[in-house]
Amino acid sequence: MSPPLVFPDTAQGLAAAMGHPAFRIGAPDQPPPVPHDLPVFETLTSGSTGQPRRILRTQGSWTASFAVNACFSIGPGARVAVLGRLVHSLALYGAVEGLHLGAEVHLLDALRPDRQRKALAEREITHLYATPAQLRLLVEGGGLCPDLRLVLVGGSKLDARLHSALAGMAPAAEVREFYGAAETSFITLADGDTPEGSVGRAYPGVEIRVEAGEVWVRSPYLFLGYAGGKGSARWSDGWLSVGEMGRLEGGFLYLDGRAGRMVTVADQNVFPEAIEALLETMPGVNRAAVLPVPDPRRGVVLVALVKGDRAVEAAVMARLRAELGPLKAPRALIWQVDWPVLPSGKTDLRGLEARLTWPG
Q: State the pTM of this model.
A: 0.86
| Whether residue 2 has pLDDT greater than 60 | no
Distance of CA 176 to the CA centre of its chain: 14
pLDDT category, 266, cuts 50, 70, 90? Answer: confident
Q: What is the mean pLDDT of residues 22-36?
A: 83
**The one-letter amino acid at 200:** G
Pick from 5-19, 42-56, 229-243: least confident: 42-56
- Tell which wins on pLDDT, 137 or 75: 75
Closest CA to 54 of 161, 182, 190, 199: 182
pLDDT category, 142, cuts 50, 70, 90? Answer: confident
Q: Report the percent of the chain where pLDDT is more than 70.
A: 96
Give CA–CA dist 88/44, Å, rounded: 5
Give CA–CA dist 77/204, Å, rounded: 25
pLDDT (0 to 100) of residue 159: 83
pLDDT category, 3, cuts 50, 70, 90? Answer: low
pLDDT, one tens digit per residue, over 73-97 is: 999 999 999 999 898 889 999 999 9
- Tell which wins on pLDDT, 147 or 141: 147
pLDDT, one tens digit per residue, over 163-199 is: 999 999 999 999 999 999 999 999 999 998 999 889 9
Exposure b/e, 290-329, CB count within 10 A at least 16 = b: bbbbeeeeeeebbbbbbbbeeebbeebbebbeeebeeebb
| Whether residue 252 has pLDDT greater than 70 | yes
pLDDT (0 to 100) of residue 58: 95
* Cβ neighbour number for residue 187 with a 10 Å cutoff: 26
Q: Checking DSSP bridges between strand 150-153 and strand 127-130, what pairing results, if any? A: parallel
Longest distance between any two alpha carbons in the chain, whole Å: 64
Give CA–CA dist 21/4, Å, rounded: 7
pLDDT (0 to 100) of residue 49: 57
* 115 membership: H or E segment, kind and range: helix 113-122
pLDDT, one tens digit per residue, over 327-344 is: 899 999 999 999 988 776
| Whether residue 48 has pLDDT greater than 70 | no
Closest CA to 65 of 100, 19, 32: 100
| Whether residue 306 has pLDDT greater than 90 | yes
Q: Report the percent of the chain where pLDDT is more than 90.
A: 64
pLDDT category, 32, cuts 50, 70, 90? Answer: confident
How many Å from the N-terminal Cα to the C-terminal Cα in the chain?
60
pLDDT category, 47, cuts 50, 70, 90? Answer: low
